[in-house]
Structure 1
């Protein structure tokens, strides 16, 4: 009786506290939808709810952004469920091992991954308020996890900008300033990355911190709330083709179940919507696909509006779309999702357990060989995803060879890496490692190739047999340096080596590079190897101490040499063993550059290489004296005729005087052959059939013949060129478009060879393939005392194509 009375009192107290809660409008002091709520005010409201209804709301901070804003998670359920939250979580995770007996539905709602798609955070506050009041019955067998704002830095960038520029009262005319953000919109995070494309790659702090908690829960249902153009009606599941082949029938069917429930509410209100279009389930790094490959019903919901929506705007058909409308739509689908999950909790648990049963995938194990630094970098990514790996217990493996594109064998050792699908994360392993993902439809929303062996530059075998493995040996820590040595030598093979060099240069330690292979005291070294001599650093009193500290920091193995006299190759005093100049680097921003492409460079320097750069905006670039810098980087973008004749002359004179210009992607169009530089765009052969009339219904299919949607190609490499030091004779490049450029007269470091190039993975249209035949990937044009580095493909794309980063480091440090 005492326990019954206690429970009754607890329920009564819960009911009374919920009934007395302030709505978002009451708490904020303005009607929701009449202002954009700044992030700290959103935090205040969730803190208020957690304080007023602690028996139903748990608020946690799972990290912070680059700009020090908190990242929140809110757990919402009944008082009974909340009191047993950890038990519910552990029982749910047992289902991934087939031993659980969970009956609770876990629903995770993610809001505002794109900062200027700001309505969803507003909607989240109304959603949780109604869950705690009028919709409490949904929580009887459901735990709802809410991330009110995945991207607080981008959201505040947008809301602060809008509050600064909006008219009072707000202006509905879409031409008004308040509907037209500048170059740096609120969409991206601090480093201008698209967080919705970073779930698998985890390059950003927001993603890294979020994935730790996500993997502690692995929800049944995950929704990623978005916005699209103002003229688009609402989009919800089911998704469009292509669906990846690993997606189960239940995952497909449940999307339909949810979509029909949403449609019921939208129909009742006369709201327009569409399904099964545009937004597919293929590329693995989205907020819908990554959860799907981890057993969830992963979905994207898209409301018309985005940055152009403001508080209200006139659409192209003359309707008025308000922030209140947008809130209502996201709020409706959010509650509808929880409702359906609540109604189907038992089925969700059953099917989730089935998802984690061992799958009969074609390839059972992926075995990888390669540079130890690259293996270690991949292991770090796998660990973040809680993917298990080990070392092989056999000496060779057979299967699909990633290098040759056919069946073959490969010798393996304790240093090789085995990643198998017979683990709870087996489906994710298949998706991330498969040589060529199967496309059910070539019309896709994103890149179509990403296989990690190619991305990390590793030799690999995909085996149809399960390869036995054991735990990996720990990394070796290297000892103290011999202070009596003549020189210390480091290999140049990986991004870790580039980080090591950058740290040395920042510490004012002088370093040389070998332009020829050499052997010394019984050891062989390749081009690009770093040579650090005591003689070059004799004015540095703490040379050995600094070198020891930095080498230990990067776990860098240094070979000590007692002499500069080599057994073969060039002696250390040769003109072929040149000092590496300390770069002083400027990067163009604004104007013609893409924010995403600029952000990749910015993040590369600050968070990966950890080397300083000066950011020069295009608005005042003419006023800058380039003589203060020896490297200028032009990020990809839409340059066209951006540079005037005077600006082009200034660039050419600066290069001729010894500067190094690095032009990436679309920036090459701003300086190509017609504008005085040596690179020329390829002319594709004309197709006489293009003049024949084609049915309008086939227009989209015809257009994709000219497109490459993120496909992987095998390029040839001239590794005797400084731009290619550290590479073999092949490089797998991720090609993002069909732009092709002729070979340079000299300096072709990486290129596609042959009239009929064939992608090894992903989609490439037939006409696009003609454009990239016999075309440049990376090259260097010498000009006077300086040089121009052309990077047609993007080695820094989304920060995940690890094997391309050494090309970029070579452009900085190795190319003279």
Structure 2
């Protein structure tokens, strides 16, 4: 370690500042751990430290939440390091190209990604205080970055709820209301998204803004602080299997090094803990895996407590778990992590450089092509991750064909996208794009497949040779010259760009038609679902031309002008097969039976992706609402639907649909409306075979149960592309299946479905589960009187990242009639 000799006067001034700094308890006016601290008070404390000790603390607001709360990053190091901070950062980043002489350790600690896992923000304040006072020696060769609260909206939701509902003094009885949050709990962010599963997909503004900062630092060590059930002892690294195969031996071993250091302190205090269980390193969008795939040591630390614990609660063994206890544990592992990094700075830098050396991955390039909307969405994601890409040279590309699951080829005409693993982010590229991630253990904590070519619905080849490029993809030219005398404008329908364009026009009172049959004009060939905007339909809208021009530019839409409604083949524009898109009024159920996460995915889809209004009806009063005011009612997935709808509720729903309403039931919601008193969909029942029943040991039982499980696997399905629910799709679709719920085909309305082939193209599915889903429904529709029921067994909006599924949902809203 290099020693820095400071002038005596300067050294004495630092000592005086450290002695004068207020502790969190002194600053807040109450003992830390006796109350929950609201976010604005946390911000106040960090601002105080930055002002009181500017030589060693730099506070940066890197963004704001949906509810306008600040997102903060505190950068802490010795005064000497802070004067040279930018050089330290840049020298560290040179390690990604092998040119660095970096010596400092970079440690990033993220607190409170789940809002009602509220202790970690409290612990962050004590941790930064101790780093500036009695543990300041750790800062001599280490830069510590502290994000005190990743999810301020969720945390304040919980803290405010707790403060409103707690007893005074607090009650440790777990039955008391202060230990039982309602449906709208504090775990997720404003849009009910789980931010700990959004690191790779970047659907949320918190994630997007944080990643910009993360990529500016790429820390050696990243810790994500969490809480788990009240009765669980503390969890810290090393992680459980499965580990992704790209994780290096050093990354594995250093987790043990840190874990053993934690154990030393926990042993001394007699605190219970466990390691190597439950929390694995596989799914790429966590706060431990994403940093790991970027060269760091990513770790999850889990304290018992969560929203159930409050200020104090009685555990199952009769002990009292207090907020002070929880703070002490997270505070200890935080300081221990910095201590280990400080004493291993040289090794961390050497191994970080080694991680970024070129690797001999099986696939050297991933080449993709397909509809431009999905291509542009993928390129946006790549830019956010600082992943380099280019345009493929003209020629034939050979390799693994994602669509067939075998070796194949396609011809690049000069507009295909190439992402190479020969780049600094090459390991992350492999993890996100490989056809099927190698799974060392089927017992995993999350989904087991996510390959982006499937998620974005793109034609793709994984090539074992590096494919040449001709530069970066050009921004396509948009033809938006509007001739007010044109009979009509035609545009295609195959991506979310098209759905946003349509939603924008409808909001501005532009009338739009869509084609239910393919057609040909002198200008070209057009598929089902193509949008047709006629002058006659909009003759009373004086802003027709300017709105059309502005919207086509905004949404990158080419408009094809035509002078006639007479087509060369297909149906003329006045045909009953060219229908008006209704400006529908949409309602969605919330609360009670729904999952907050499934609800949030739909809420976010409407407000942040489609930009179209949705009315939210809570389960407490939805039955008192006049449904005739709405054209569409959405039932988000959830686990509480069975028994939720009374017989009278089902009759109301059936009457509303029969009168022309459109009911969209997703996932678990289907279980609330099937059966004799519901609609016509039927669950697939498993036939019990008792001929070879075996007695299993207790240990073997869990693994035997995996035969019945599907842990987020990708399946190739068949599509009736002539159906309005499937406009914009081809005859196959790759679906992400999250479980083994299975329903029979629908008579006349089976649109997307499993055939006899049930082996997943990626991810894990148990043998018995595969049998159950053969010849079952994925998406379908049922006519009921003058209305429709749309069933979505799989979730096309899952976590907001399955881009290729979103158009199905838009079709359900606008195209199905």
Give the TM bin, normalised by the shorter chain: over 0.9
With 233-242 and 408-417 compared, the bigger mean Cα shift is at 408-417
Deviation for aligned residue 1:688: 1.9
Contact 1:75 1:143 in 2 (8 A): yes
3-state secondary structure, aligned to 1:528:
coil
Deviations along 1:564-619, one digit per CA (max 9) or x if unpaired, are 00000000000000111111000000010000000000000000000001000010
Given that 2:480 and 2:552 are in contact with CA atoms closer than 8 Å, whether structure 1 keeps it comes out as no
Aligned residue for 2:536, secondary structure, equals coil
Name the CA shift for 1:5/1:434 in 2 (closer, same or farther; >3 Å).
closer
Aligned: 1:313 with 2:316 = no
Cα shift at 1:689: 5.3
Offset at residue 477 of structure 1 (A) = 3.3
Aligned partner of 1:205 in structure 2 is 205
Change in CA separation of 1:5 and 1:336 when aligned onto 2, cut-off 3 Å: closer
Structure 1 residue 655 corresponds to structure 2 residue 657:
yes
Match of 1:788? Answer: 789
Could you report, residue by residue, the CA deviation over 1:161-182 in whole angstroms, capped at 9, with x for unpaired residues?
A: 0011000111010010000000
Aligned residue in 2 for 1:294: 294
Distance in 1 between the 2:205 and 2:373 partners? 22
Question: Quick one: distance in 2 between partners of 1:407 and 1:534?
Answer: 49
Question: 1:409 aligned to 2:409?
Answer: yes
Listed one character per residue, the Cα deviations across residues 152-211 of structure 1 (whole Å, up to 9, x for unaligned) are 000000000001100011101001000000001100000000000000000000000000
SS in 1 for 2:676: helix
Distance 1:140 1:690, change over 3 A: farther
Residue 690 of structure 1 and its aligned partner are, at CA, apart by: 6.7
In the other structure, the counterpart of 1:570 is: 571
Further displaced range: 202-211 or 547-556: 547-556
1:640 to 629, 639, 642: 642
Paired residue secondary structure (1:302): strand
Instruction: Tell whether 2:726 aligns with 1:731.
Output: no
Matching of residue 667 in structure 1 with residue 676 in structure 2: no
The residue that corresponds to 1:536 in the other structure is: 537
Q: Secondary structure at the match of 2:127?
A: helix
Alignment partner, residue 720 of structure 1: 722
| Secondary structure in 1 matching 2:341 | helix
Determine the C-alpha separation between the residues in 2 that align with 1:600 and 1:473. Answer: 32
Query: Do the aligned residues in 2 keep the contact of 1:433 with 1:451 (CA within 8 Å)?
Result: yes
Partner of 1:695: 697
Question: Which digits, 9 at most, give the CA deviation of each residue in 1:94-146, with x for residues without a partner?
Answer: 00000010000000000000000000000000000000000011111000000
Query: Residue 744 of structure 1 aligns with which residue?
Result: 746
Partner of 2:188: 188
2:556 matches 1:555 = yes
**Structure 1 CA distance for aligned equivalents of residues 677 and 198 of structure 2:** 37
CA-to-aligned-CA distance 1:528-574 (integer Å, 9 cap, x gap): 00000000111111111111111111111000000000000000000
2:39 paired with 1:77: no
Name the residue aligned to 1:480. Answer: 481
1:667 to 1:5, Cα distance in 2 relative to 1, 3 A: closer
Q: 1:64 to 1:771 in 2, by over 3 A?
A: same
1:766 matches 2:767: yes
Provide the rounded CA distance (Å) in 2 between the counterparts of 1:164 and 1:655. 41
Deviations 1:20-68 (A, max 9, x none): 1010001000000000000000000000100110001000100000000
Stretches of structure 1 lacking an aligned partner (at least 5 in a row): none
State how 1:209-224 maps to structure 2 within 5 Å: 209-224=209-224
- Kindly report structure 1 stretches of 4+ aligned residues shifted beyond 6 Å: none
Q: Check whether the contact 1:389–1:418 (CA below 8 A) recurs between aligned residues.
A: yes
Aligned partner of residue 675 in structure 1, secondary structure: coil
Check the 8 A contact 1:372/1:415 in 2, yes or no: no
Post-superposition shift, 1:757?
1.0
SS of 1:674's equivalent in the other structure is: coil
SS at match of 2:572: coil
Contact 1:11/1:79, CA 8 A, preserved across alignment: no
- From the superposition, tell whether residues 81 and 5 of structure 1 become closer, same or farther in structure 2 (CA, over 3 Å): closer
Distance 1:132 1:478 in 2: 59
> Which TM-score applies when normalising by structure 2?
0.99
Q: CA deviation at 1:5?
A: 10
Q: Does the 8 Å contact 2:497/2:556 carry over to 1?
A: no
Distance in 2 separating the partners of 1:396 and 1:489 = 33
Helix, strand or coil: the match of 1:761?
coil
* Structure 2 SS opposite 1:432: helix
Contact 2:716-2:761 within 8 A present in 1 as well: yes
SS in structure 1 of the partner of residue 537 of structure 2: coil
In structure 2, C-alpha distance between the alignment counterparts of 1:28 and 1:7, rounded to whole Å: 34
Which position in structure 2 is the counterpart of 1:592? 593
5 and 603 in structure 1: CA distance in 2 versus 1, 3 angstrom threshold = closer
- The DSSP-based 3-state class of the residue aligned with 1:338 is helix
More displaced stretch, 767-776 vs 377-386: 767-776
Output one character per residue of 1:736-756: Cα deviation in whole Å (capped at 9) or x when no partner: 0000000001111100001x4
- Mapped to 1, the partners of 2:229 and 2:805 lie a distance apart of 34
Q: SS state of the match for residue 191, structure 1? A: coil
Q: Distance in 2 between matches of 1:6 and 1:729?
A: 71
CA distance in 1, matches of 2:240, 2:677: 43
SS at match of 1:759: coil
5 Å-filtered alignment, 1:163-312, equals 163-312=163-312
Moved more, 705-714 or 468-477: 468-477
CA distance in 1, matches of 2:708, 2:376: 38
Deviation for aligned residue 1:18: 1.1
In the TM superposition, what is the alpha-carbon distance from 1:504 to its structure 2 partner?
A: 0.5
Q: Give the TM-score taking structure 1 as reference length.
A: 0.99
2:165 and 2:581 map into 1 onto residues whose CA distance is: 48
Q: Shift of the alpha carbon at 1:434? A: 0.2
Q: CA RMSD in A?
A: 1.0
- Asked if 1:677 corresponds to 2:679, the answer is yes
1:9 Cα offset (Å): 2.5
Contact residue 33 and residue 311 of structure 1 kept, 8 A: yes
Q: Shift of the alpha carbon at 1:704?
A: 1.1
Instruction: Please say if residues 684 and 770 of structure 1, whose CA atoms lie closer than 8 Å, have aligned partners that are also in contact.
Output: no
3-state SS in 2 of match to 1:536: helix
Alignment of 1:454-465 (within 5 A): 454-465=454-465
Q: CA deviation at 1:393?
A: 1.5
Give the corresponding residue for 1:813: 814
Q: Is the 8 A contact 1:391 1:413 kept in 2?
A: no
- Would the alpha carbon gap of residues 661 and 637 (structure 1) be closer, same or farther in structure 2, given more than 3 Å must change? same
- Give per-residue Cα distances to partners, 1:449-508, cap 9 Å, x unaligned: 000000000010000001011222223233421221000001000011000000010000
Partner of 1:510: 511
Tell me, yes or no, if the aligned pair for 1:685 and 1:770 is still in contact at 8 Å: no
Structure 2 gaps of 5+ residues are none
Distance 1:450 1:6 in 2: 52
Residues 1:112 and 1:5: Cα distance change in structure 2 (over 3 Å): closer
Partner residue in 1 for 2:498: 497
Q: When the two structures are aligned, how many residues end up with a matched partner?
A: 812
Q: CA deviation at 1:6?
A: 7.9
| d(CA) in 2 for partners of 1:105, 1:288 | 18
Q: In 1, distance between residues paired with 2:385 and 2:191?
A: 22
TM-aligned CA distance change 1:6 to 1:746, over 3 Å: same
Mapped partners of 2:678, 2:49: distance in 1: 63
User: Which residue is 1:132 aligned to?
Assistant: 132
Q: Distance in 2 between matches of 1:420 and 1:98?
A: 18
Which digits, 9 at most, give the CA deviation of each residue in 1:326-379, with x for residues without a partner? Answer: 000000000000000000000000000000000100000000010011111100
1:616 alignment partner in structure 2: 617
Partner in structure 1 of residue 24 of structure 2: 24
Kept after mapping to 2: 8 A contact 1:394/1:468 = no
Distance 1:394 1:96 in 2: 31
What residue number does 1:98 align with? 98
